[in-house]
Each structure stands twice: as structure tokens, then as C-alpha cells.
Structure 1
Amino acid sequence: MSSSADTEAGVVPKSDGRLRRELSSRQVTMIAIAGTIGTGLFLLYRLTPVKGTGRSLAQGGPASILICYALVGFIVYVTLLLLGEMSTQYPIAGSFNAFATRFFSPAYGFALSWNYWLNDAISVGSDLTAAQLVLQYWTDWHPWVISLVFWVFLVSVNALHVRAYGELEYWLSSLKVATIIVFIIIGILVNVGVNQDHRYIGVSNWKIDGAPFVGGFGGFARVFVTASFAYGGTESLAIAAGETKNPTRNIPQVVKLVFWRILIFYILTIFLIGLNVPWNYPNLSNKSTTTSPFTIVFQEVGSHAAGSFMNTVILSSVLSAGNHALFAGTRVLYGLSVAQPRQAPKIFSWTTSRGVPLPALALTSSLSILCFGSSFIGSGQLWGWLQNLVGVSNQIAWLSIGIASWRFRSAWVAQGRPLSELKFRSAWTWPWGPPFVIVTVTFLILVQGWSSFVPKFAIVDFVSLYIEIPLLIVMYIGWLVGKRVINWRQVVTERTPLLTSNDAIRSADAPEPWFDLVDIRTVDLKTDEYDDLIEEEAVLEGGAKPTLLKRLYNWVV
């Protein structure tokens, strides 16, 4: 969204059919939290032992799981700081996909954007497939019918207004946050002796046979890959930048708080699980297990309803994840349709008077219904494959953020713009941040298929873990080939006399190169910069400032 449009009224006029800046700081904060927790702490551990905290604890031990989650958490934090710099300067639809196109390569941006859109569309289907598995805890009655009801509900919410999406995400995320806080309190109580055996646990589970590192380097590597899956989706918080009120203030605030969310929601939770649950707990790593570390801890304090409670929380997490993925996929497709050059049909740029891109929503949701509609054939296996696809796409997104940030920073310096003009700057990540993210995430992508090789080669798992890499390359080459064909046809029809030979055409016009790396010395650094002066003035003129109680409430939220 261009700065000129925003400058006129602080918010894009309702009559122009564009996206609306209607997401408040409260909602954006919860959207960020929803991207941080859910798939890693609630969904994965319960539905598939391959990528969950229970499986991680059993295969790697308490020390491996703590170290791996901390390391990957740090990588994700640096990645989001880099993304926050660009999203604050250019709060547009498409986020890191648009930045890859703008600062690195249009061909790569095209391939990345469609890859990530596919990831979001598949994620909705994956989450609704997961809902079927969760519901099997209570009943086997046609679970796909419930998934269909959830699908209709999510599409309806996203079709109403962006505020409807934000409010639903806010309350679903609130339940998850409350559950984590309760778990942390109960975990501490269980550890110090408030448990069924009235025994002080302390660090005794770190000293049992095989602990704290289980399985040596192989166990550590498996957990390292698991951790990268658990943090997936955090990068999509910037997708909402194009619809966030006062992005200059709200986006940096949200990104900075990611560190504390990672510290509290992941590291502290993982630490308490490692303290209270022994790595060799029965059924912790069984393929058909319904036991989770969360449930074990709740049961230790005497909560016999822990299973139903945790499944209720998981179900809300499924809805939250599906809601978030549907929103993100819709906005990515919209961003493709308004990109320069255009990378998707123009129809997907059409929005309602409330700023909802209905055609983009329809295509994204239609693909997701195909995914979960076939899940009754084998819900568990299908869900695992879909999660592999989603996880790899998330890692590719992190890598692309590092590349785009490196090019963005280089262009800023090369064109002589002072760093003081950056609306948000993570000074301590200069200059090492982008190369650090590129190197570490590349390593993650290369080793993420460890489980498909060890203990034996699994062709289906291997394909689901690595298929997106050749697809990305094919789409990259396809964009370049298509661009060369279109440009050649324009030369023939517009600039070449009828009697000119093909050889003359080639000599008169240099062929399109087989790469389209953006020149950092000439790339436009002005367009799409957000001017929030008008919006701030409107807030000041709109009435009294928030009271102390209101500011305290917003801070707590």
C-alpha cells in the first residue's frame, strides 16, 4: 500500500476497495502469539509422535530438547527482528514475499510467494485434518463433518471483516496463553513436591540412566529438526502489516516482545517438561500413544480431567492455526496480484467495500477443503505428510527473510540513506544478522530430513520433506522463461519491421538474462514507506488519551 494513499486520511478510503488498516495493537500482539505457540507446544506433541515434545524428550533427553529449542528460538528471534525492520519501513501486503521480489529477484519472489501461498492453503487443510484426530478422543462419529463445519465457520469469519479475523484470533490465543501460564505454575508446584507421591523431583530426571543426553548425536539431531518445525509460522505475523493500525509503532513493539514469548512459552515450558517427565516414561514415544507431557504434568497434581482439558485446548489451537493460515494465504495471494510486476491474475486483487479480498479467499479455502476432504482415507498419515510440507516451507521463508534483509540493508547503505531514517532498526544485529540467518537456516533445511534416512530410508517421508525445494527451482526457472518469451514477442510485434530477419531481431535487442538479480544501487527505497503522521494527529484529535488503567490493561494483554 503506497504512502500517498495512507497520507490522505491515515487509512485508505473505504471506496477504493483496498485492504484496511483495522487491526489494533492488541489484536496484532495476539496474532504474533498465535504464530509462536500452537503447532509446537499443543498440536504436534499430541497428534504425531514424530515431531512433538513427547517424542523429542524420549529420543533426545531433557538436555537435548532444552538446548535445541533454545538455539532454534534464537535463530527465529533474529529472523523476526530482520523482518520487523523491513515490515515497519514498508508495511505492505505480501510481507517477506514482496521483499524478496523487491530487493533480491522477481523470479525468486514469484517462486517463494506461490510456494508460501501453497503452504498456507495446505496448512488450513492440515489443521482441519488435525481437528478430526482431536475429536477422535471423544467420538468416532463422522469427524470429517465437524471439520466441514469448522471450515465454513473460518471462511465466514474471514469473509466478514479483518477485525472479525483479529478478534477471533485474539480470544483463541488468549486461551492458549492462559493454559501455558497455568501449566508453568503447576509444573513448578509438581517439581517442588505438590504431586501424587509428595516427592521433591528437582533435577532427578536429568540423572537417570541415559539422561540428560539420550541417543548421543543422533538423538540431538532429531530434536534439532523437531524444534525447527515447532517454531514454524512465526514469520507470518508480518503478513498482517498491511492491515495494522500505526505499523510504525505496533510492528516493532510486537517483534520485540517475541523474545519474551519464546523465553516463556517455549524455553521455560520445555525446561519444566524435562524436569518433571522422565525421558523413559511409558508410551511417551509410542506411535499410537495418547499420552503427552502436558497431560502427565496435570495428572501428577491430581487433575483427572487433564485429557479432556488438553484436548479442548488443542482443538482451539487447531481453529486458531487454521484461522491464521487462511488469513495469511489470502493476503499472500492478494499481494501477488498487486505486485509489480504482477505475479497473479488481477481478479485476486478485487476486494469488498470492507477490504476483504474475496476471490483470493475463495481460492485459498477451496484448496484447503480438498486437502482435508480426502483425509478420511487416512487422517494420521496424511496429516504427517502435510506437516512435513508446511515445515519445509517455513524454513524456506526464514532463509528468504535473511536474503531479503541482506539486500535491503545493502541497498540502504549503497544509496547513501542514513540509518536514522529507518523507522525501526535492530542495531545489535548489524551487520551479522542476515548472513547468520542464511547459514543457520540452510543447515536446518539440509538436515531436516534426518528422520527419513535413519534408521532406514523412507521414500515417502523423504519426498514430503524435500519436494518443495525442486518445486521452488522449477517455478523460478518458469518465471524467467516466461519473461523471456513475453519480451521476445513484444519485440517482434512492436519494434520489428515485417521484413526483418530473426537474426536482426536478436542483434538489435540483447537477450534476457537467465537471472534477474535486483540492482541495489537503483532499487526504489521510497515507494510504500508508511507515513503515520496523519494517523497520529487523528488519534490526538480524536479525544482523550488512554487512562492509566487502560494502558496497564493493554500492557498486560
Structure 2
Amino acid sequence: MSKSKGGEYELYDFEPIAENESKTIQYAEEISNVGSVGSVDSKDNSKTPYGEDDSNKKSMWKNFIDGFKRMELGDIDPNLSEVERANIIAERAPLKRSLKNRHVQMIAIGSAIGTGLFVGSGTALRTGGPASLIICYFLIGTMIFCTVQALGELAVAYPVAGSFLSLNSRFISPIWGFCMAWNYVLQWIIVMPLELVAASLTIRYWNDEINSAAWVTIFYFTIVFINIFGVKGYGEAEFVFSTIKVVAILGFIILGIVLNCGGGPVGGYIGGKYWYNPGAFHHGFKGLCGVFVTAAFSFSGTELVGLTSAETANPRKTLPSATKQVFWRITLFYMVSLTLIGLLVPYNDPRLMGNSSADAAASPFVIAIRNAGIKGLPSVMNAVILIAVLSVANSAVFAASRTVASLADQGFAPKFFGYIDRKGRPLVGVGISFAFGLLCYLAASDKEAVAFAWMMAISGLSSIFTWGSICFTHVRFRRALHVQGRGTNELTFTAMSGVYGSIWGVILNILVLMAEFWYSLFPTNKPDAYNFFENYLNAVVLVFFFFVYLIWKKFRVTFLIRAKDVDLDTGRRVEDWDLLKQEIEEEKAFIASKPFYYRVYKMWC
């Protein structure tokens, strides 16, 4: 046992005594076979008398193989209820806490920024015009901020495996947790092949002669290689990917301001002329409703920072700061960049149509640069889009594998789904994710567009339900604290938006679902069943999961756990509450003693 920099104690993994004894006996036999200390094997003069090179190779190979063995959770009382057992398993899950502060910060800022922003924003601009673009992204942004703040409070209080997925069952009900967990799995196992195909389509910007299957293969094994190294590989890759995306978007913002003011090679001063011609709105209120869904898709994956809680070295210090970074992500990367997009690209630009939802040539970021007559830079932006797409594919493996393991922990899937090896890798979850990832080879099929349209339909609304569920879980958590005579003074981090922010999140998510229902059913003046199921199928899938659980439990289910019965203690990483409260008060006093600008900085960073 050693004390880490964060002040927490970490346990080193030791091999069982029996294995050590067998190694000692084996090593003694090898020494006796050498003959004498000074003798050297005449067939291989490169080895030492004791065969150390060979032994080291065997040891490295054995450690590599042993790393895939299952990490045991220990005995669990069989008399516990379903919810109690799930809570204990989530607390004990042997995921490695390898994510550092810099990893979590960059995951919060840019992990899931991909085609939703770089390409999907073009679809939103074409659908509703620049004014609808700003309004919808702003409203969704406020909801996302409240959601991530609520998630931060929950994840810091309960840094357990599965994060908000396991907390659904604890604070709402097992049946809702079952539906949300399986819904979340569907979302991410489908995202991976979608993003790999998007990456192959992005390559067509430079070369469309090479078969897409070749590029898909390269990208597929790149993601496999990254995930061999477990959560640390994911964290390092996302740190690099997100850094590139952040630098690129900040660079585009500066360039966009220059271009709008007439600083480009061609075009002259632009100002707000595209808001007058062709106009600020397109398709009126229906166009506005259509942008809502695209905006929500662009923010999907923002909740990934919550899944890192069980694999973060010191969540009490890291997660509060990470959740605050989402404010800057929404303000800078979405609101500012999309305001510039609305100024630089008219909504009737024919290139916004594209050939697919992942066509990089249809990216308004690329179009804005090409309109300015800048050569070479569109290819740079396209390379950033490629990196962003691979980043989301990498995040999809992380999210899907952890969710699959959480399903097993909660008893919603076979036990072997929860297999986590000694290196902290949820192997079965990773394997399932990569198995579904092979669907990316549909890119070589003539039916690619149809197949992926329906795959996307299965999980298209998943993020909306997930965010609404996180907000409602936070409301239920605060309600349980109140009913059980406890308060927020025992929390190390409280949501800046409070419980009212979570209520706003629930309401806005419901409004988005209503808007999407209307827009999907009536794309024109007449109802369209095909369009409805293509865009709203995920809601039908949720209803299917609901009835699956009812039948599985023979209709003996609890639809809402009473606030007084909610377990508020399992999974907390606090050993001395008095000491923790003293530390929090000292931190608050320290910040209060600092100048105004420092207090503002700590509030938002």
C-alpha cells in the first residue's frame, strides 16, 4: 500500500502465495539444471548462465496473459435485494482509476465533438436558417449545462461503475434503469460503425478511388489498438484528439471573424447580409422544430464525463472542474462558432445538401473557408473532421463497454457481460462493441444508406431520453435527501443550476420529444409513416424494453422507489464525514479570501 499524490491510498496487486511458491521452485530447478554458476550454453552465448533473458520474456508474456484473467469482486450476501446487490457491485467494480485530471478535462471539453457539430450543423442551417440555428442550440445548450451539472453532483457523490446508468435504478426504479441502460448500449454500439463509415467518407474529400472497405479496416484496427491499453489508452487518445479539435475550433473562430469583416482573399465585407438574403428563418416554426433534434444530436456524448467517475483517481477534485468546462464548450465551440457559420454561409447554399449525413464537403466549416478563396485550409479542416470522427468512434467503445458491464452489475444481462480483467478492461463489453463495429463493412454495400438510416433510427432519440433521465434522477436524489432528513451540506459538490435546473432539463427534453414527434409525423402537410419511424423508432424501442422487463419480472415490479427507501450511502468514497466537511469549509474560506477575479475563475473553471 502506498499513498498517492491525491492523498488516497492505492493497493498494489500481489500474486497469490501459491503462484509465488511455484515460481520459486521452478526457478530453483532452472538453476540446478545450469550445472555451475559459470557455465554457459554453447548453443546460445547471448543468454546469461541463469537464463535471465528467457525468464524475463516468459514473465512478460505470463503477465500479459494474466492481465486478461477476471478480477474477483468478493462474496456478496445472497439475501440482498436486487437493488442492494446492484449498488454493492457498482461500488466494488474493479475498473482502474487511471484517468488523470488532464484526461477528464479534455474529455469534458471536446470528447464527443464530431460530425454532429462539423457536418450536422450544416443540415440544421439548411433546415431552419441561421436564427433557428442560434435559438435551438442556445436552448439545448442551457439544458445540457443543467444536465451536466446535475450529473457532476451525482457522479462526485457516487463515483461507481455505470455512473448515471446504475443510479437510475437506485433513485427512480429498476424498470426505468433497465430501459435506459439497454437504450444507452444501443446508442453507442451503433455509433461506432456509423462513425467509422463517416471517417471513410471523409477520406473521399481527397480520394474517392480507393474502396471504402479499405479505409474502414484501417480505422477499425486503429480503434482496437487504442483500446488494448484500457482506460489509459482511451484517456491519452482523447486528450490528443480533443486538443486538436479545441485548437481547430478556436482557430476557426478567429478566422471567421476576420472573414466576416472582409479580411479574406475574396468576398469582401459580409456582415449580416445572409440574415436578410436569403433570410434568418427557413420553413418557419416547423423548421425551428427540425433544428431542435439536430442540435440535440450535436451535443450527444456530453454526458460521457459522468462515466469516467469510477475510473478517475480523485473524482472529488477532478469532476467538479470538468463539469464546469462544459459551459465553455457550449459557449465557445457551439454558440460562437455557429453564429459565425450563420454569418458566413447562406442556408440555401447547394453544397449544404451533401451526399450523406457524414459528407465532409457539406460541412459549413469547410464551405465557409472555400467561399473565402483560401487554398489548402479546407483540407486542414477536413483532417480535423476526420480526427473528430475517430474520436467519437473511440468514445463509443468506451461508453458501450462500460454500459454492457453495468447491465450485468444490475442483473439486466448475463453475468459474463460484467467480466472485467485485472487490467480493469471490461473485456466482454469491448468485444461486443467491436463485434457490432464490423457493421462498418456495410460501407461497401449498395444498401449502405438504407441500413445506416434505420440503425440510426434505433438510437436516434437516445440522448434525449438519457439527459431527461439524468435530470429526473437528480430531482429524485434531492428529494430523497430531504425526506430522510439530510441535506446538501454532506455533498462535496453541488450543481450550480440546483434542482430547478434539473426540472428545466426534464421539461425541455419533453418539449424536444414533442417537437420531434410532430416534425417526424408531419414532414409536410400530410402524415408520413416511413419518415415517422425513421426518426422516432427509438421511442418504440424503449416501449419494447419496458414490456420485456414486465414479462421477465412477471409484472411484479416497482415503478417508482419511494424517497424514504432510497439507498443514499452505498458507493460513497468517504470514510470520515467530519474531516471531509472540515476540508470543504477550509476550501471555501480560502477561495473567499482571494480577490474577485480569482473567485470568478474558480466559479467557472
Q: Same fold (TM over 0.5)?
A: yes
Count residues with an aligned counterpart.
493
- Structure 2 letter corresponding to 1:39: T
Q: Does the 8 Å contact 2:454/2:534 carry over to 1?
A: yes
Indicate which of 7, 18, 26 corresponds to 2:102: 26
5 Å-filtered alignment, 1:113-262, equals 113-137=181-205, 138-197=207-266, 199-208=268-277, 210-262=278-330
Query: Structure 1, unaligned stretches of length 5 or more?
Result: 1-6, 46-51, 485-511, 537-554
Offset at 1:8?
12
Q: Kindly tell me: are residues 398 and 12 of structure 1, through their superposed partners in 2, closer, same or farther at Cα, counting changes over 3 Å?
A: farther
Indicate which of 442, 447, 450 corresponds to 1:374: 442
Is 1:483 the equivalent of 2:553?
Answer: yes
Tell me the TM-score normalized by structure 2.
Answer: 0.76
Offset at 1:337?
1.7
- Structure 2 letter corresponding to 1:374: L
Q: Does the 8 Å contact 2:132/2:291 carry over to 1?
A: yes
5 Å-filtered alignment, 1:32-47, equals 32-42=108-118, 45=119
Offset at 1:60?
1.8
Offset at 1:532?
8.4
Is 1:66 the equivalent of 2:134?
Answer: yes
More moved, 58-67 vs 160-169 = 58-67
- Structure 1 letter corresponding to 2:485: G
Following the alignment from structure 1 to structure 2, what is the Cα–Cα distance between the partners of residues 416 and 156? 50
Deviations 1:14-44 (A, max 9, x none): 46561011101111111122345223222xx
Following the alignment from structure 1 to structure 2, what is the Cα–Cα distance between the partners of residues 348 and 394? 23
Query: Structure 2, unaligned stretches of length 5 or more?
Result: 1-5, 15-70, 73-93, 581-601
Q: Does the 8 Å contact 1:22/1:244 carry over to 2?
A: yes
Q: Kindly tell me: are residues 334 and 10 of structure 1, through their superposed partners in 2, closer, same or farther at Cα, counting changes over 3 Å?
A: farther
Offset at 1:517?
2.0
- Structure 2 letter corresponding to 1:153: T
Deviations 1:138-194 (A, max 9, x none): 133221122123222212321322111110111111111111011001001001111
- Structure 1 letter corresponding to 2:398: F
Is 1:10 the equivalent of 2:9?
Answer: yes
5 Å-filtered alignment, 1:396-407, equals 396-407=465-476
Q: Kindly tell me: are residues 469 and 246 of structure 1, through their superposed partners in 2, closer, same or farther at Cα, counting changes over 3 Å?
A: same
Deviations 1:311-343 (A, max 9, x none): 21121111100000101110111122223xx22
Indicate which of 460, 479, 486 corresponds to 1:417: 486
Following the alignment from structure 2 to structure 1, what is the Cα–Cα distance between the partners of residues 194 and 368? 28
5 Å-filtered alignment, 1:428-447, equals 428-430=497-499, 432-447=500-515
Offset at 1:77?
0.8
Q: Does the 8 Å contact 1:73/1:262 carry over to 2?
A: yes
Indicate which of 288, 306, 315 corresponds to 2:386: 315
Counterpart in 1 of 2:571? 528
Runs of 4+ deviating beyond 4 Å: 286-289
Counterpart in 2 of 1:349? 418
- Structure 2 letter corresponding to 1:528: G
Following the alignment from structure 1 to structure 2, what is the Cα–Cα distance between the partners of residues 35 and 434? 23
Counterpart in 2 of 1:473? 543
Following the alignment from structure 1 to structure 2, what is the Cα–Cα distance between the partners of residues 156 and 285? 35
Q: Kindly tell me: are residues 265 and 8 of structure 1, through their superposed partners in 2, closer, same or farther at Cα, counting changes over 3 Å?
A: closer
Deviations 1:411-440 (A, max 9, x none): 11111112110121125423x223222221
Q: Kindly tell me: are residues 107 and 294 of structure 1, through their superposed partners in 2, closer, same or farther at Cα, counting changes over 3 Å?
A: same
Following the alignment from structure 1 to structure 2, what is the Cα–Cα distance between the partners of residues 471 and 386? 12
Q: Does the 8 Å contact 1:11/1:20 carry over to 2?
A: no
Following the alignment from structure 2 to structure 1, what is the Cα–Cα distance between the partners of residues 428 and 175? 24
Following the alignment from structure 1 to structure 2, what is the Cα–Cα distance between the partners of residues 246 and 286? 45
Larger Rg: 2
Offset at 1:465?
2.2
Q: Does the 8 Å contact 2:460/2:538 carry over to 1?
A: no
Three-state SS of the structure 2 residue aligned to 1:264 is: helix
Indicate which of 358, 370, 373 corresponds to 1:299: 370
Q: Kindly tell me: are residues 98 and 285 of structure 1, through their superposed partners in 2, closer, same or farther at Cα, counting changes over 3 Å?
A: same
Tell me the TM-score normalized by structure 1.
Answer: 0.83
Between 1 and 2, higher relative CO (CA 8 Å, sep ≥ 6) is seen in: 1
Q: Kindly tell me: are residues 270 and 8 of structure 1, through their superposed partners in 2, closer, same or farther at Cα, counting changes over 3 Å?
A: closer
More moved, 310-319 vs 409-418 = 310-319
Indicate which of 126, 150, 163 corresponds to 1:95: 163
Q: Does the 8 Å contact 1:36/1:261 carry over to 2?
A: no
Three-state SS of the structure 1 residue aligned to 2:294 is: helix
Following the alignment from structure 1 to structure 2, what is the Cα–Cα distance between the partners of residues 168 and 94? 21
Following the alignment from structure 1 to structure 2, what is the Cα–Cα distance between the partners of residues 166 and 365? 18
Q: Percent identity, aligned pairs only?
A: 35
Offset at 1:368?
2.3
Q: CA RMSD in A?
A: 2.7
Q: Kindly tell me: are residues 348 and 533 of structure 1, through their superposed partners in 2, closer, same or farther at Cα, counting changes over 3 Å?
A: farther
Q: Does the 8 Å contact 2:397/2:433 carry over to 1?
A: yes
Offset at 1:238?
0.8
